[in-house]
Amino acid sequence: MPGTELPGLAETNIWLACSDGRMDLVEHFLKHGGPGGTPLDPNVKDDTGYTPLHAAAAYAHIPLIHLLVTTYHAQIDIVDDDGDTPLHVCETAAVAKCLVELGADVERRNGEGKLPIEVADEEEREDVVAYLKDLTPTYERAIRTLSMEEFAHMFENGADVSCDDDEDGSVDDNEDDGDDDSAEQQDNEDDDGESGSESAGDSTLPSTNGIPNGLTNGYHPSTDSD
């Protein structure tokens, strides 16, 4: 394809062509190179170790992945400067499946010692995790801790961020204890009230002419003598 135009692309920018899924440009670079005319190695790396296959995998260009691996023999588990393989950087289950079928190693660890499924899990690529979990049976998902920013975002969007209830929906035991204490306190108050009433009824009140004080209701027997 010597006549392929290269508008806006640098002389050896095969990575941009791969990101855009431009198979025609990629083949031009691999067969004829850029304007300088030197064919590029399919495993050529940029200044971070990124390869054409990394770019094709990250941007989900499956036909280009097949072209690079089967026609131009790109290394399926080639790593960048972080030790990431194309399987580490893929973002869809379809791409992960394509890479695995072409021979990608699901147990290959990057520079941080992380498996492809672990990277996918940390970056919340749930479909990739779902695909790789059966191929990586020894991996156990860690309990993910929310950052303050994520927590604030959930709260602002009306999420229930309380932790009062247990997972089964039952009320926290401490709340039960609080209810029990309130009920007990009420019972004690009722008992005290009843005791006070009984005491008032049983007490002997001073009398006036045989009528206990407090029961005369303002009535005062006559003290006139006949």
CB neighbours of residue 194 within 10 Å: 10
Q: What is the mean pLDDT of the chain?
A: 77
Structure confidence at residue 35 (pLDDT): 65
Percent of the chain at pLDDT > 70 equals: 60
Ranges assigned E (strand) in 83-136? none
Per-residue pLDDT for 12 more than 80? Answer: no
Q: Is the pLDDT of residue 124 over 90?
A: yes
Residue range 164-188: average pLDDT?
52
Q: What is the dihedral of CA 212, 213, 214, 218, to 10 degrees?
A: 110
Domain 14-141 falls under CATH 1.25.40.20? yes
- Neighbouring residues of 21: CB distance < 8 A, sequence distance ≥ 6: 56, 59, 61, 63, 64
Q: What pLDDT sits at residue 8?
A: 53
Break the chain into its structural domains and give their ranges.
14-141, 145-194
Task: Flag whether the pTM goes above 0.85.
Answer: no
Residues in the chain: 226
Rounded to 5 degrees, φ, ψ at 212 are -55, 135
Tokens of 78: 């080639």
Instruction: Quote the pLDDT of residue 190.
Output: 61
- Banded pLDDT at 52 (limits 50, 70, 90): very high
Q: What's the chain's Rg over C-alpha atoms?
A: 41
Is residue 151 very low, low, confident or very high in pLDDT (cuts 50, 70, 90)?
low
Cβ atoms of 122 and 141 within 8 Å: the answer is no
Distance (Å, whole) CA 151 – CA 139: 27
**Mean pLDDT computed over 210-223:** 43
Of residues 60 and 150, which shows the higher confidence score? 60
Helices (H) and strands (E) in the chain, counts: 10, 2
pLDDT > 70? residue 218: no
Structure tokens at 225: 């003598």
Contact present, 55 and 19 (Cβ < 8 Å): yes
More confident site: 167 or 121 = 121
Half-sphere exposure of 225 (CA within 13 A, CB side): 0
Q: Are 104 and 74 in contact (CB under 8 A)?
A: no
Mean pLDDT to the nearest integer, 147-154: 71
pLDDT tens figures, 61-109? 999 999 999 999 999 999 999 999 999 999 999 999 999 999 999 999 9
CB 14 within 8 A of CB 52: yes
**CA distances to 61, 65, 86, 99, 176 from 94, in Å:** 10, 12, 13, 9, 50
Residue found under tokens 């401490």: 174
